[in-house]
Amino acid sequence: MAPTYMHSGKRMSQIVIHKDTVYLAGQVGSEGTDIATQTRDALSEVDRLLAEAGTSKSKALQVIVWLADMADFEAMNEVYDSWIDIQNPPARACGEAKLATPGYFVEFIVTAAI
């Protein structure tokens, strides 16, 4: 079975589906807004893309979180904790990284089962 690529550009696809697994590109919120708003926006986009791929956060296998500043860890987690399916929490990692532009404070990379 060949992978399916969705919302593809020259550099990347927003969704790649291979067999029973969905891989999302990193999702960010609106540049220049606060960490809580960016977290909500990015996770809303994750929900939209997962639904388009035929799955949902309840089938998330792994979430990788990149923060521009670990000082935002608690504020990001407040939003994340209200978003995540607590009955099916994925494996998660969170680290600090310099993101694509200075206006981005958080990025989520999600892998899910179908």
Instruction: Check: CB of residue 33 under 8 Å from CB of residue 44.
Output: no
pLDDT at site 99: 94
Task: List the beta strands (DSSP E) in the chain.
Answer: 4-8, 13-18, 21-24, 27-28, 60-67, 91-96, 106-113
For residue 32, pLDDT beyond 90:
no
For the chain, list the domains and their CATH numbers.
Answer: 4-113 (3.30.1330.40)
pLDDT at 86: 95
pLDDT value of residue 1: 85
Task: Flag whether the pTM goes above 0.75.
Answer: yes
pLDDT in tens, 39-94: 999 999 999 999 999 999 999 999 999 999 999 999 999 999 999 999 999 999 99
